[in-house]
Amino acid sequence: MCGIAGIVSLGQPEPICPERLGRMVATLRHRGPDESGLYFFEDVAASVGLGHARLSIIDLVSGQQPLSNEDGTLWITYNGEIFNYRELRAELEATHVFATDSDTELIVHLYETYGADCLPRLNGQFAFAIWDERAQRLFVARDRLGIRPFFYTIYHHQLFFASEMKAILAVLPEVPPIDLTTLDQIFTCWSPLPPRTIFAGIQTLPPGHFMWVQQGQLHIEPYWQLEFPIEPNWDGRTVAETAVQLRSLLTEATRLRLRADVPVGAYLSGGLDSSAITALLYRELGQRLETFSIAFTDSVFDESRFQQQMAAYLGTGHHVLTCTHADVGRAFPDVIWHTETPILRTSPVPLYLLSDFVRRGGIKVVLTGEGADEFLGGYNIFKEALVRRFWARQPESAIRPLLLKKLYNYVPNLDNAAYLTQFFGHRLGETAVPHYSHLLRWRNGARHRRLFTPEVQQAIGAEQPLPDLPLPAHFGRWSPLAQAQFWEIRIFLAEYLLSSQGDRMAMAHAVEGRFPFLDHNVVEFCNQLPTDFKLRGLNEKFILKQAVRDLLPPEIWQRQKRPYRAPIHRSFFPERRPLAWVAEMLAPQKIAEVGIFQPQAVEALVKKVVRFGSLGEVDEMALAGILSTQLVHHHFVAGGGTAVAPQPATNQKIIRHGQIGYEKMEHG
C-alpha cells in the first residue's frame, strides 16, 4: 500500500507548483515511508502533477512511482495490490515490454491494451490515477468494494486528489467547513454516505467506479456493482458440494494474498473468520505465518482465551497486544487524525495500536477476516430483521419477540418484556420498506439530533437522512437478507469498516491489510447462495462453518458471533473523571466555540458519566461521536488543514515531461 496525490488543471493550464504537490505527498508519508516521487506534465493544453509515497511490498528494487509505459506516454500513481498480476502479465508479455517486476507496471500495460475494460480483469484492492499524455486525459479507478480510498475536490479550476483528505486540506488556502448533512448521516447511519465526506466540497470516488477527467470535465460511472439473485435461483447443489466450492475459492484467494517480497502475517481475533483464514494458511497452504491479536484488560471485551486456543491448536508463532482503557483514551486523538472523520465507537483504536505492534515486529502485510459477516450473513442486524419479519406475521405474539434476547444478551433491559416489545416493535409491519432491516439502527441514530444546536438542526432539516443511494434494478425482487446485506455492504463496510477501522488504522503505521473474503470471486459466489445457506434459523455463516469445521476446534466454529467492540466511557472518564484532553474538548466554552453541539446537552451527558459511572449504548455512541467531531474540528478546521507537520520526503524522484520533445529530468 502507498499514498497517492495529484493536481490537474481543469481550465487554462497553469504550472503545477512542485512545493504544493510535494507537501501533499509529505502529508501521506506515514502511508509510504520507503520512497516518494513526483511527475509533472505541462504544455499549452494541459498541466498535471502526480505524486506518490511508497510502501515497498512487491519489486522492492524497481517499482518506484510514478511509473510509465515503454514510450513514456502513460504515467501512473497507484495505491494497492493486484493479486493476479503474474497471470495477467503472462498474457501481455507478447505485446508489451516490462521494465520492472511490479504489479504497478501491469496496470499501465493492461490499461494501454483495454482502456477502462481493464478493470474487471483486476483481482485486487486499489485506487490509481493514470495520465494519458497523448489523449490529454486522466483515468481514475477504485476497487470494487472500496478497500483503498480516493478523495478529490475542485478548487479554482484545479482538481486535487489524494489517498487521504488531509493531503488535500494541507494545500487548500482555507479548510472547508464541516458538512452538516454528512455529520447527520454519520450520527444516524454510523457512516458518511458516498460521495459525501465530512468536509464540504471534498468527495470520495464510490467503490467500483472509475472517473475520466478531460477538457475540464469529470465523468464518473460504475464498472461493478452488488448483484444478488432473484429468488428462487439455485442450481440444486447440496450444502456439502457448496461448502467444498467455498473452501476452494477461499483457499485460492488466500494463496494469492500471500504474494509479497516482504514477510506476511495474520490477525487472529479468536472468531470464526480470522481463524478460518489462519487455518487455511496452515493446513491447506502450508504457510507458517506469525499471528497477532488484541487482548483487553476489560473482560467485557476480551476474547484472548479463544485466540490463544486457536494459536495453540495451529502451533502459530503468536503475539498478543494487551489493550487497557488508558490505551484507548490516550490514542483516540491520534486515531481521529487518521480517520479524518467523526466515529461513533472506539473500535478502531485497538487496531491502530495493533498495527504499530505489528510493524515494530517487522511485518508489513497482514491477512484478516473482514468481509465474511457482510457476505455470509454474520451480523446480528440480519438476524434481527429476520426475527422482526417473523414477529410481524403475528404482531400480537408475546413469544416471538423473545427471540431477540438471544441476539443482544449484552444489552440491558431486554428482560423487560414491555421495553423489548416497544423498542423492537418500531414500524414492525412495514416489511415492504427497502431499508426495513436498518430502521431501528437509523431510528436510534436519529436520536442524536437532540445534541445538535438549533442552528445545526435547522440546517440539516427535520427529516431523518435516509440513504439516497441508487438501488439496483432488481432490488425489490431480492430476498430480505440480500436487501439487508446491500445496505450493510454499501454503507457500513465501505465507509466505516474498510475506511476508519481498516485502511486508516493499518496505514497509520504503514501496514497493509489483505482480505481473502473480499476477493471478488468469493464475493460473487457468496452473493448467489440461497438465504438458508448463509443464515439457517439464527445460525449465522452456516455454509462457512460447514466449509472449515474440520480445520477448527468445535469451540471456535460453533461459538455464537460476538461483535468486536472496545470500551468507550471508561476510556475517557477513568474513575469518573475526564482525561485532560477530554475535559478540554467537552468544556462548555469549547463546545460553544465549535458551534455544533448544545453545551447544555453535552454537559448533561458528562454529568451522567460522572454521577453514575456508566452509559447506555446510545449515550456511549453519542460520547464517542461528540469527542471525535470536536477532534476533527481541532485537528483540521482550527488546525489549518493538518495538525501534524508533514515530514520531508526521502529518496524522492522528480520527473518532468512537457512542451516539445518531452524533455525528461530525474532527481534522486
Give the mean model confidence (pLDDT) for residues 187-192. 94
Note the residue count of the chain. 668
**Strands 158-162 and 151-155, sheet pairing:** antiparallel
What single letter denotes the amino acid at residue 320?
Answer: V
Task: Encode pLDDT of 192-244 as tens digits.
Answer: 999 999 999 999 999 999 999 999 999 999 999 999 998 766 778 899 999 99
pLDDT of the residue at 651: 67
In one-letter notation, the amino acid at residue 375 is F
Give the start-to-end residue ranges of the domains of the chain.
2-224+645-667, 239-375+499-557, 379-485, 574-637
Mean of the per-residue pLDDT values of the chain:
93
Distance CA 661, CA 462 (A): 60
Q: pLDDT digits over 477-492, tens only?
A: 999 999 999 999 999 9
pLDDT tens for 536-565 read: 999 999 999 999 999 999 999 998 888 899
pLDDT on residue 439: 94
d(CA 424, CA 395): 11
**At the fourth CATH level, which superfamily is domain 2-224+645-667?**
Aminohydrolase, N-terminal nucleophile (Ntn) domain (3.60.20.10)
Strands 67-68 and 35-42: unpaired
Do 401 and 389 contact (CB within 8 A), yes or no?
no
If DSSP codes are grouped into helix, strand and coil, which group holds residue 14? coil
What pLDDT score does 165 carry?
A: 98
Q: What is the DSSP string of 566-587?
A: ---HHHHSGGG---HHHHHHHS
pLDDT confidence tier of residue 639, bands split at 50, 70 and 90: confident
Q: Which parts of 63-110 are beta strand (E)?
A: 67-68, 74-82
Query: What is d(CA 330, CA 309) in angstroms, rounded to the nearest whole number?
Result: 30
Is residue 532 pLDDT above 90, yes or no? yes
Residue 98 has pLDDT above 80, yes or no: yes
Which backbone phi and psi does 158 adopt, to 5 degrees? -130, 140
d(CA 107, CA 125): 12
Q: What is the mean pLDDT of residues 143-163?
A: 97
Which runs of consecutive H residues, i.e. helices, occur in 319-453?
325-339, 348-360, 372-376, 380-392, 404-407, 417-424, 439-446
Query: Predicted confidence band at 507 (pLDDT cuts at 50, 70, 90)?
Result: very high
Question: Are the C-beta atoms of residues 275 and 249 closer than 8 Å to each other?
Answer: no
Are 514 and 358 within 8 A, CB to CB? no
* Amino acid letter for position 324: T
Residues catalogued as catalytic: 2
The confidence score (pLDDT) of residue 224 equals 97
Res. 665: pLDDT tops 70? no
DSSP label at 501?
A: I
Mean of pLDDT values over 106-113 = 97
- Evaluate if residue 663 carries a pLDDT over 50: no
Neighbours of 134 (CB within 10 A): 8
* CA–CA separation, 411 and 437 (whole Å): 19
C-alpha cell belonging to residue 49: 502533477
Question: Considering only CA atoms, which of 119, 555, 522 is closest in space to residue 308?
Answer: 555
The confidence band for 21, taking pLDDT boundaries of 50, 70 and 90, is: very high
Question: Hey, is 363 helix, strand or coil?
Answer: coil
- Whether the pLDDT of residue 392 is over 50: the answer is yes
The answer, yes or no, to whether the previous bond of 66 is cis (omega within 30 of 0) is yes
| Whether pLDDT at 148 is above 50 | yes
Per-residue pLDDT, averaged over 4-15, amounts to: 92
Distance, CA of 314 to CA of 326 (rounded, Å): 32
Please state which of the ranges 345-359, 432-446, 496-510, 650-664 shows the lowest mean pLDDT.
650-664
Residue range 37-63: mean pLDDT, rounded:
91
- Pseudo-torsion of CA 241, 242, 245, 247, nearest 10°? -110
Strand-pair partners of 290: 265, 317
Taking the C-alpha atoms of residue 262 and residue 56, their distance in angstroms, rounded to an integer, is 8
The single-letter DSSP state of residue 398 is: S
Beta partners for residue 162, in sequence order:
5, 151
> Grid coordinates in use for 558?
460453533
pLDDT exceeding 90 applies to what percent of the chain? 84
Confidence band of 140 (pLDDT split at 50, 70, 90): very high
Beta-strand runs (E) in 11-165: 35-42, 47-54, 67-68, 74-82, 124-132, 137-142, 151-155, 158-162
pLDDT of residue 508: 97
CATH of 239-375+499-557, one of 3.30.1330.10, 3.40.50.620, 2.40.420.20, 3.30.1780.10: 3.40.50.620
